[in-house]
Structure 1
Amino acid sequence: MMGILPFLLGLLSMVPAGAQVFTLSEMYGTITSPNFPEPYPKDAEIFWNISVPEGFQIRLYFLHFDLEPSYLCEYDYVKVEADGEELAVFCGHEDSDTEHVPGEHVISSPRSSLSVSFRSDFSNEERFSGFKSHYSAVDVDECRDSNDEDLACDHFCHNYIGGFYCSCRYGYLLHSDNRTCRVECRDNVFSERSGVLSSSNFPNPYPKSSDCQYRIELEDGFLITLEFDDPFDIEDHPDVICPYDFVKIQAGTNEYGPFCGDRSPGRIQTESNKVQMFFHSDNSGENIGWKMSYTSYGSLCPAPVKPLNGQLDPVQIQYSFKDHVLVSCEPGYRLIQDGEELEHFEIKCQKDGSWSSSDPLCKKMESWRNS
C-alpha cells in the first residue's frame, strides 16, 4: 500500500481548482455522472481516484454511456488514467472516426490504482443522460502475468489472493530475497586420492546467490593435480575481472584465480596435499558452470634392489609414496632381516622418498642354520 499515497498526491497536484475529487478504496463500486440517470449539469469536473491493495488490479466497464459528441472529445468526455498513462477517452453515444464510446470494452489497470475523470463544458443543449460504470478489484496472477524477471521465481511460483510466493526444488534453499533458489554447499570434503567435482546441477545452469566451498584433503606426502574440463562457462564481464561469478583456489600458500568466462583454467599442479576451492554466484545469469577432476601423486622412491636369489612383487618402473613391495626368496633360500629368519618381508615407500627398511638378504637354508 505504500505506493498508493504518492499516486494520490500526484493526482491531486494535477486536479484543477474547483474540481470535485472522490477517493474510493472499496474492493468494488459504481461511478456515475452527476444526477444520473437525469441529464448531467454544465461546467462539471469530477475525479474519482480508485486504489485497492497491492496484488490486485482494477477492472472498469460501463453499463450506460451517453455524452455530448464532439470532435476528438473536446467538449464533454470521460477519461481513464493509470500510472500517469492515458488508457482511454470516451465521448458521444456511438463510435465514429473521431469519437469512441466504451461499449463492452473492459479497462484494466496495470497495477492497483486507477483514475476516472468526467468533464462537461458550458452547454448541454440536448440534455445527455451521462454514464454509469462499475469497477472491481481483481486478483493479479503474478505467476502468470509478471513480466519483470527480477520479481520472477527461480523454480516454482504459487499464486494466492492478493499475492504470491516462491518455492524451490528438493535440495535447494530459498534465498532471503524470497525469489532466488540457492544451494548449501560449504561442507564438501574429498579424501580419496582421485575424484571429480563440479558446480551444482552441471551441465545445467548453476544455482544463483550461492557460495560453495570444496576441500580436498589428502595425507601429507601426496601432491594434488587439478584438471578443469571443457565446457567451462561462468558469468564474466568484458572490462572487469570476474565481478559476478568466479572460482578461486587456495593450495597451501599459493592462490589461483579468480577464474570466469568460457576459457578453462586447464591443468593446475598445486604442489600441496590440501586444496580449497571457492565458487561464488550472484543473483543473475544462466551459465552452466564447470567440471573438474583431480589426481594425486606422492614422493618417488628409488627402485628397490632385488636381493640375490630373491624376488620383488610387484615390479614397477616407478615407485611412489604408499607403494608396498613384497620381498621373498627362491626355493631353498630363507629371508634374513636384521638377524631374523622370515617367510617374506614388506617394505613401504615413505613420504620423504625413502624405503621403510633396508634390503633383506636371501641365504641358503643350510648355510644360515650352520652359521
Structure 2
Amino acid sequence: MSLFLFPFLFSFLVDAQLLSLSQMYGSLQSPNFPEPYPRETQLRWNVSVPDGFHIKLYFSHFDLEPSYLCEYDYVKVEAEGEVLALFCGREETDTEAVPAQQLITSPRNSLSVFFSSDFSNEERYSGFMAHYSAVDVDECSDRSDEDLLCDHFCHNYIGGYYCSCRYGYLLHSDNRTCRVECSDGVFRERSGVLSSVDFPSPYPKSSECLYRIEVEPGFRLRLRFDPLFDVEDHPDVRCPYDHVKIEAGSSEFGPFCGNRSPGEIQTDSNVVTVSFHSDNSGENLGWRITYTATGSQCLVPEIPPNALLNPVQSEYSFKDHILFSCAPGYRLLKDGEYLDHYQMDCRSDGSWSSSPPHCQKTD
C-alpha cells in the first residue's frame, strides 16, 4: 500500500468511529494528539452522566486550522439538538472562535463533541485536549416559582432531591404534592363554619375532603357560601379539575367551581354531606360555608281568654317552648288540675305537644 493511500484509509476508519463516555469525569483529544491530527476526519464523542447531574466541559489545549466561520476544521459541542459552541483556530492568534478558558455546561445530563477536519492543512496543527466532569444539579434552586418541584419544601442532595410537607400535611404518592386528610369528624352543632383547608390561602392539591353536618331530626340545614369563592375551573368544561358538591337527602347541589359564589342553599334535610375534590395543580384560594339549622314551624297557638303567653313571637320552630299563665284573679286548669303555669313544646312534625290550658276565675 502506498504512502499516498495510507492517510486516506486512516481517515476513513476515524470517520466511522463513534465514542461513548459514561464516567463521572474524563478527557478526550483529537486523533494522534499531541501530534498533528489527520485530514478528512470526523469523530464524535457522546458523553453522558447519571440523571441529576450536568456536564461541564473545558479545553486545556486548542490548536486547529483557522477559517472564516470555522468552515475548514472545527470542534462543535451539541446537546439535545442545540449547538452550544463552535470552535476553530489557534489560541495564540486570539480569534473569537478559540475556547480559551470558556466553560461549557450541558442543559441536561448528556452532550456530544464533534470534531471535523477537511482535506488539507497548510500547516501542522496539534489538535485539542478537552476535559469533562459531572456536576450536581441543585433542582431546588434551579427552577422558578412557577415551576416548583415540591409543594412545600425541596431538599437537594448529590444526584437528586426529595420533597417534604409542612406539619399537618401528607406527601402524595407522586412524592412532590402535599395533601391533607380532611374527612374526619361530624358537625353536630346547630350552626357552624367549615371551609377548605387554609382558607383563604391556597388549598392543598390532590386531596379528597368530606364534611358531614348532622343535626337532630326536625331541623333543616341552610348553607351560605362566603362571597370569596375561588375554585379552579375550565372555560369549556364544567368543573373538570376541582369542585365542591353538596348532598342533602335525595337532593344534590353542584358541582361548584370558578370564582362566583353559589350563595345560599336551603335544604330539606337534617343531614348534609359536603365533598371537595382537588387535583394536582392550581393555586386557588378555596371556599367557606356558614351553616344554620332551622326547625319545623309550629302555628302560633290560640290564646285562651284571660291567659298570658311567654314568649310572644310571630313564629315558632322545633324545640321552641312556650309558657302559659293566667291574668290576676284566674288560675290555670289543665286536665282537672290547677297549675301556676303550663309549658307546651313545638315538636319535629310542626305540631304542639298538647292543647292550651284554660284560665278559670278564682273565688
Instruction: With the length of structure 2 as denominator, give the TM-score of the two structures.
Output: 0.88
Equivalent residue number for residue 216 of structure 1: 213
- Identity fraction in percent: 69
Distance 2:14 2:41 in 1: 12
Which residue of 81, 84, 100 corresponds with 1:84? 81
Equivalent residue number for residue 173 of structure 1: 170
Change (3 A) 1:38 1:46: same
Equivalent residue number for residue 268 of structure 1: 265
- In terms of mean alpha carbon deviation, does 144-153 or 110-119 score higher? 144-153
| CA displacement 1:9-30 (0-9 Å, x = unmatched) | xxxxxx9984322211111112
Q: Does the alignment pair 1:145 with 2:142?
A: yes
Distance 1:147 1:360 in 2: 78
Equivalent residue number for residue 300 of structure 1: 297
Which residue of 66, 69, 74 corresponds with 1:72? 69
Equivalent residue number for residue 277 of structure 1: 274
> Which amino acid is 1:276 matched to?
T
Alignment of 1:1-371 (within 5 A): 18-94=15-91, 100-146=97-143, 152-306=149-303, 310-329=307-326, 335-363=332-360
Whether the aligned pair in 1 keeps the contact of 2:321 and 2:346 (CA below 8 Å) is: yes
How far the C-alpha of 1:314 sits from its partner, in A, is 2.3
Distance 2:56 2:316 in 1: 81
3-state SS of the aligned residue for 1:187? coil
> Which amino acid is 1:88 matched to?
A
Whether the aligned pair in 2 keeps the contact of 1:31 and 1:132 (CA below 8 Å) is: yes
3-state SS of the aligned residue for 1:72? helix
- In terms of mean alpha carbon deviation, does 82-91 or 300-309 score higher? 300-309
3-state SS of the aligned residue for 1:232? coil
Whether the aligned pair in 1 keeps the contact of 2:15 and 2:41 (CA below 8 Å) is: no
How far the C-alpha of 1:86 sits from its partner, in A, is 1.3
Aligned pairs, how many? 352
Whether the aligned pair in 2 keeps the contact of 1:94 and 1:100 (CA below 8 Å) is: no
> Which amino acid is 1:77 matched to?
Y
| CA displacement 1:163-188 (0-9 Å, x = unmatched) | 11111122222111111112221224
Instruction: Give unmatched runs, 5+ long, in structure 2.
Output: 1-11
| CA displacement 1:41-64 (0-9 Å, x = unmatched) | 333322211111100000001111
How far the C-alpha of 1:191 sits from its partner, in A, is 1.4
RMSD after superposition: 2.6
Whether the aligned pair in 2 keeps the contact of 1:71 and 1:99 (CA below 8 Å) is: no
Distance 1:95 1:182 in 2: 61
Whether the aligned pair in 1 keeps the contact of 2:14 and 2:43 (CA below 8 Å) is: no
| CA displacement 1:146-204 (0-9 Å, x = unmatched) | 36966621111111110111111222221111111122212242111112222222112
